[in-house]
Structure formats: C-alpha cells, structure tokens
Amino acid sequence: MATELKPVVSFDDSFAKLDIRVGRVVEVELETSTHKQTYRMVVDFGKYGKRVSYGRFTCHPIEEVKDRLVLGVLNFAPRQMGPVTSEVLIVGVQYPKAESGEATFVTPAVNAKVGSKLF
C-alpha cells in the first residue's frame, strides 16, 4: 500500500479548474464492443445537457445503475475507449474485491439537484 501522497498543489491550479456536477443516469446498457465489460450510460446533467459515458461499473446490476445520481467531470475532453467515445468521466472508486478497473460510484448522500456543482 502506498504511504506517500502526491505533491501539494494549489486549489486554483487544480480542483478549481474542474467542473464536476451531479447527473442522473437515464439510460444504461451493457456495451459489448469494448475490450472489457463496460456500461454505456446516458447521464442527464440538467441545463448542462445529456452526455454519454462508458464506465466499468458492471459489478452493479443495470437496474441499480438506472436513475442513480452520479458525479461527472464535464470539462474533460472526450476519451476514446476502443471503438467508443466517452463524453464525460463519471467519478468512481475501486469496487471492493473486484478486478482492477471495476468501479463503484461516488454519489451524493441525499437527492441532490441535477446539475449541482461539487465544491
């Protein structure tokens, strides 16, 4: 286990530059064209629009993912993932005891407003 932290950075040069907002997964399906099992999710960010995200959240059943509130980084450039392109990064952490790359969601503890900014 790593015991050293990354170097200290200023708020203005790091976190302040990210636009992380609450979204709601409105569509989810298993994507079969990617190298590893991945979900294709359409996430509604309210006045910021709907964006497509591909993520390895497949330890969660589809019915548990649909309508879930998630946090997404809206101002990263789209990322190519094999044959698909993810328009937004959904924030997650390693799913307990799952293979590397399998994630679980970082979500608000209450029913937060869609489009709300993380601060």
In tens, the pLDDT along 53-95 reads 999 999 999 999 999 999 999 999 999 998 999 999 999 999 9
Cβ 72 vs Cβ 23: under 8 Å: yes
- How many domains is the chain built from? 1
pTM for the full model?
0.92
Average pLDDT, the chain: 94
Domain-located, residue 73: yes
CATH number of domain containing 76? 2.40.50.140
Determine, yes or no, domain membership for 41. Answer: yes
Partners of 42 in the β-ladder = 27, 52
Is 76 domain-assigned?
A: yes
Q: Per the domain annotation, does 89 fall within a domain? A: yes
Q: Which domain holds residue 77?
A: 18-105
Tell which residue, 18, 62, 17, has the closest CA to residue 41. 62
**Residue 12 within any structural domain of the chain:** no
Residue 74 resides in a domain: yes
Residue with tokens 């900014």: 117
**pLDDT band, very low/low/confident/very high, at 1 (cuts 50, 70, 90):** low
Residue 43 lies in a domain: yes
